[in-house]
């Protein structure tokens, strides 16, 4: 999985591209990006699937100088973390972790 960041000069915003590669995405029919930036809302950030290779991606505008926790939610049943994220943070449940992106 990968994360790409593009900082805007005119606004305190960073356009962050979240991508699930074909070797992972092709196993699923849909993916959602959930995190602290959208109150972990299942419906707010549906990722687009590229039919030709099975990857998923989405671009999200995030406020600069902040840190956000997130996870990918695949086919309404499987949670995935991003090993290429800026970090991992143990959840308050203590039994799993969330990925972290710093912008």
The share of the chain scoring above pLDDT 70, in percent, equals 100
Domain CATH code at residue 46: 2.60.40.10
pLDDT range class, residue 35, cuts 50, 70, 90: very high
> Is the Cβ–Cβ distance between 30 and 74 less than 8 Å?
yes
Position 10 scores a pLDDT of: 94
Taking CA 56 as the corner, what is the angle to CA 53 and CA 60, rounded to the nearest 5 degrees? 145
Position 48 scores a pLDDT of: 97
Q: How many domains does the chain have?
A: 1
> Is the Cβ–Cβ distance between 3 and 18 less than 8 Å?
yes
Tokens of 71: 């996870």
Enter the pTM of the model: 0.93
Largest CA distance in the chain: 41
Range of the domain at 29: 2-102
Count the helices and strands in the chain (H runs, E runs): 1, 9
- pLDDT tens-place string over residues 48-94: 999 889 999 999 999 999 999 999 999 999 999 999 999 999 987 77
């Amino acid at each position: 999985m990968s994360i790409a960041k593009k900082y805007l000069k005119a606004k305190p915003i960073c356009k962050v591209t979240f991508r699930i590669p074909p070797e992972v995405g092709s196993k699923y029919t849909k993916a959602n990006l959930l995190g602290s930036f959208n109150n972990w809302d299942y419906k707010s950030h549906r990722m687009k699937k590229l039919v030709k290779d099975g990857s998923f991606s989405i671009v999200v505008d995030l406020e600069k100088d902040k840190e956000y926790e997130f996870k990918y939610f695949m086919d309404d049943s499987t949670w995935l973390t991003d090993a290429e994220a800026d970090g991992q943070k143990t959840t308050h449940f203590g039994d799993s972790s969330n990925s972290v992106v710093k912008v």
